[in-house]
Amino acid sequence: MTLSDADRDLVVAELGRDPTPAEEILFENLWSEHCAYRSSRPLLSAFDSEGDQVVIGPGDDAAVVALDDDTYITLGIESHNHPSYVDPYDGAATGVGGIVRDTLSMGAYPIALADCLYFGDFDREHSRYLLDGVVEGIADYGNAIGVPTVTGSTSFHENYEGNPLVNVACVGLLSADRLVTAEAQKAGNKLVLVGSSTGRDGLGGASFASEDLAEDAETEDRPAVQVGDPYTEKLLIECNEALIDEDLVESARDLGAAGLGGASSELVAKGGFGAEIDLEKVHQREPNMNAFEILLSESQERMCYEVTPENVERVQELAARFDLGSAVIGEVAEGNYVCTFDGEPVVDVPPEFLAEGAPMNDLDSVEPESAARDLPAFDLSEAFEAVVSDPNTASKRWVYRQYDHEVGLRTARRPGDDAALLDVPEADTKLAFTGGADPNWTTAAPYDGARAVAFENATNLAAKGASPLATVDCLNGGNPEKPDVYGGFKGIVDGLADMCRALSVPVVGGNVSLYNDSVSGPIPPTPTLAMVGKADGSSPGLSLSGEGDLFLVGHSGGALGGSAVLEHAGGSDAFPALPEDADAATAVETIQAVAADDATVAVHDVSHGGLAVALAEMVTDEVGADVSVDDYVSLFEETPGRVVVETTDEAALRDLVGDVPVVELGTTTDDATLSVAVDGDEAAYDAADIADLRDVLARELD
């Protein structure tokens, strides 16, 4: 990728001269889609990002949200899609490292990760190869740095075959007095680089992430993929804590996309300053590196700190204590962003123009059409078994068993439930954490599918007794220059924005990843969310207790569009009708109240795979269920915002739900068997049979 003629003309007009080679490649990367959001920024104003709980919203390395007056969390999400296709292990591992460093740069300690992964069809050998490498990379890096991976999602869809997605979110914890931002504070302060030495790995990673993947990407683009070292990252985490403890950091930015050039220029531009940087001061691990290699290298485990002159010595002492390299590479200054190499200026540009001057794209879009209803004839046993054993709805234990999800001693509810729960005694609360998207939903209907993604994530939190607090998004799309692709992307942005606004959940930050396109075609529009909530009361699990009766709470959408059952049985249908905004908000509030009720002994959301999968996940080796529904749409529709509730007090449940629909499903049993009746058809499966159906990932991959 090179700087386009139009962009180069803008640079020449601003500088009054031709750019130097280092300037040209710096503009190429910082004005790329990955860094400048040229096709998406015009759409992002649709999001509401404010709220009393929001301390720092979009624009910094991570968002900051208050749990109380003294306790904050950070929340961020990033994509590492192209690198994870070229090198699944290192691509995924360094995705974890990057989002953790975003957390550090705000002064926070990372306490939890979520991974949301999307691959081609599960039956393809290449998809399994990518899945295996990505999961191993996340596990090895996260486990080594001591940050638990507690929630997430894993999805399969044929259109990810040539371009998988790896979206990783991180939650951090800090007290209010430890907050740091990525905004330079004062001219004359020093810029100190701390962490690993700089090499040639990851060169041009930002521009690489802004291109469609070519057929030979797995070999030709390998130099653009970073190589991580989790043990150095762990030292960097602890060193960062020590620096914050001693109040030695004025501002900070991690070295991610566009490396030192991106981090340092954005840091000073955000504060309204320039910089004077000597690139030869950067500690390097390879000989004869030139100016643009030092500027654009995305070598991992590096931070750029703004430090007052009197604190520089102490910062370097602490770096040495943790066996980390450090170098004073320059200082915050008035005027331009200036970098010298071999005694000569190689970059001398206005920092705000570099960081914010990229022109936005004005692209054509085409909205997709809704499908008509053409339902197949269903066979109950065949449909049930196909949906429950579908890799998209089956157990993901093979994935999360490889993660250390209890390190740090905060994990109160482990992966496998609707949401993870983390103990936060500092604020006398629990933090609920969930994440994911459904490509089948947003393929069927980008706008309503994205509304459903937001609705489902909020329902996951409410089902564990939590009130949604804030969310971040990772907006993944194909080549936006294709009108149908851009139409789908616009749909997911507007859908997320409208539902999050309806639920009063501010979108406090995020990431955009476009040009996820390959010879296999564009990916589905994929709006990954990572959402957090506060759980101050009780938190029921999803497993049946055998003490109560079963009810379905929530609005039915009455359609099978985007469902797993149609993927197997064929046919078509419109996407389920979601409740109006006010009704959706009421449903989430009601589900939270039901989950907190003393008579509620189990709650589980109904979404992927519908009621059939929800019930299959709730039965245990001791407790079964006897359930009856009116028709196949009721059993397999995937309308979110609904939960199965086991309660010992039906009257109390009906009092709580008010105008939210509630349907009696049946009762629990002591025979460990799920019996389902649908319009005269019946099927029964014991817990062992269900477990075998749901264990498809482990069975095929071990």
Contact 244, 178 (CB under 8 A): yes
Determine which one of 34, 555, 604, 608 is catalytic.
34
> What's the CA gap between 533 and 116, in Å, rounded?
18
Within 8 A by CB and 6+ apart from 308, the residues are 186, 189, 190, 250
What tokens appear for 174 in the block? 């800090």
Within 8 A by CB and 6+ apart from 502, the residues are 581, 582, 584, 585
What tokens appear for 439 in the block? 């490509």
- Give the position of tokens 């489902």: 456
What tokens appear for 306 in the block? 């703004």
Measured CA to CA in angstroms, residue 617 lies from 603, 605, 620, 627 at distances of 11, 10, 8, 14
State the chain's maximal CA–CA distance in angstroms: 85
How do 71-79 and 63-66 pair as beta strands?
A: antiparallel
Closest to 442 (Cα-Cα) out of 125, 644, 168, 165 = 165
82 annotated to bind ligand? yes
What tokens appear for 589 in the block? 């509030």
357 annotated to bind ligand? no
Sheet with 274-278, strands from edge to edge, namely 251-254, 302-307, 190-195, 325-333, 274-278, 337-341, 344-349
> What's the CA gap between 261 and 30, in Å, rounded?
9
685 annotated to bind ligand? no
What tokens appear for 171 in the block? 């939650």
229 conformational bin, left if phi > 0, alpha if psi -120 to 50, beta if neither: beta
405 annotated to bind ligand? no
Measured CA to CA in angstroms, residue 321 lies from 243, 318, 584 at distances of 12, 5, 53
**Which phi and psi (to 5°) does residue 418 adopt?**
-65, -35
81 annotated to bind ligand? yes
80 annotated to bind ligand? yes
Rounded (5°) CA angle 54-58-61: 105
78 annotated to bind ligand? yes
> What's the CA gap between 434 and 113, in Å, rounded?
10
Coil/strand/helix, residue 483? helix
The H-or-E segment that residue 125 falls in is helix 125-145
254 annotated to bind ligand? yes
Determine which one of 80, 405, 604, 608 is catalytic.
80
Chain centroid, CA 629 distance in Å: 35
300 annotated to bind ligand? yes
The H-or-E segment that residue 320 falls in is helix 312-321
226 annotated to bind ligand? yes
604 is catalytic: no
240 annotated to bind ligand? no
> What's the CA gap between 150 and 114, in Å, rounded?
6
626 annotated to bind ligand? no
Coil/strand/helix, residue 182? coil
689 annotated to bind ligand? no
> What's the CA gap between 431 and 180, in Å, rounded?
22
80 is catalytic: yes
Residues in binding site for substrate: 79-82, 101, 226, 298-300, 513
Residues in binding site for ATP: 37, 473, 510
Catalytic residue set: 34, 80
Residues in binding site: 37, 78-82, 101-102, 226, 254, 298-300, 473, 510-511, 513
Residues in binding site for Mg(2+): 78, 102, 254, 511
